[in-house]
Each structure stands twice: as structure tokens, then as C-alpha cells.
Amino acid sequence: MSVLSEELRQKILAYVPRYPNKQAVTLPALHIVQDALRCVPLEAIREIADLLDLSPAEVHDTMSFYGFFRDEKQPLGKTRLWVCRSLACGLRGAEELLDTVCKKLNVQPGGTSADGKITVEFAECIGACEGAPAVLIDDEARMNVTPDKVDALLDELRQ
């Protein structure tokens, strides 16, 4: 049984004309699958490899090179919350912010809340230095997030 729906296959194949070769589509394909499934299962690696005329090892090498892809043993929660730890954010309380978020969700960085809704991670930089401390909620930057705003933020993300 196929892990990738026909819709996901078509999304991946739509990238092929944009790149000089099929191998270059590996990274976008992994993002497409993880966004849809909240992880990249082993069978999806095989199916991506088939679509792109690659070996599964080549796809897995790309996946394992980047720290933000998850396999089926550690899927992402519904929402991924990155806490920035860059110099600017660090100077404005990012470590305290990360600690507060983790304590309130009872997780360590990289962990997912018990209800499966929020995965907390840290990033070295999300490019929002002007609003430090900043977080990234999936693909949306949120600036000036201080520990006193964590309860409201987590309530919002749980909905």
C-alpha cells in the first residue's frame, strides 16, 4: 500500500520542471511529505526515490543531513514551535523563553506535548532579530514573545 497519496505525488512531480535534474527535487519532496504526514515514513522515502529515479539511500542521506525532518518514530505535533536562540534572541531572554515553554508543556526541546498538538524545538536563527525574542510557528514568525506571553501563545496553539 502506498504511503503517498496521488495528490502528494503530483505535488512532488510538479517541482521536477523547476530544477535542473530530478535529484534536486529531493529536498522539496521531503518537505511536502513531512508537511502532509508530520513525518517522513520509511516507505515514503522509497516512494520518493522511485518518483525521482534515485536510490532510497540517496533520499535518506538528504533527509538525515537536515535536522528538521522526522521519521515515523518521532512525528511532529500538529504545530511546530521553534524558539530562536540566536545572539539577538539570546540576549533578550530566549533561553528563559525556551525553558518556560518546555516546562509548561512538560517536554524537552525536540519533544511533543502529550496531546500531540505542539512540538517544541530550538533554532539557531529564524531571521527575526528585530523582534527578539522570536519564535517560528510552523512557517510564521512571531516577534517579541516573552515568557509572560507563553500561556496565551500555547492556548492559541492548542486550539
Residue-wise pLDDT for 104-119, tens only, equals: 999 999 999 999 999 9
Task: Please indicate, yes or no, whether residues 88 and 154 belong to a single structural domain of this protein.
Answer: yes
20-43 confidence digits (pLDDT tens): 999 999 999 999 999 999 999 999
Task: Please indicate, yes or no, whether residues 94 and 141 belong to a single structural domain of this protein.
Answer: yes
39-48 confidence digits (pLDDT tens): 999 999 999 9
3-state class (DSSP) for residue 122: strand
Domains held by the chain: number: 2
For residue 124, being part of any structural domain is answered with: yes
Q: In DSSP terms, which residues pair with 96 in a beta bridge?
A: none
What share of the chain in percent tops pLDDT 70?
Answer: 100
Task: Please indicate, yes or no, whether residues 29 and 85 belong to a single structural domain of this protein.
Answer: no
Q: By CB neighbour count within 10 A (0-12 exposed, 13-18 middle, 19+ buried), where does 13 fall? A: middle
* Among candidate residues 18, 40, 65, the one where a domain is terminated: 65
Task: Please indicate, yes or no, whether residues 149 and 85 belong to a single structural domain of this protein.
Answer: yes
- Which residue range forms the structural domain that includes residue 98? 79-158
Q: Which three cell numbers stand for residue 140?
A: 510564521
State the pTM of this model: 0.84
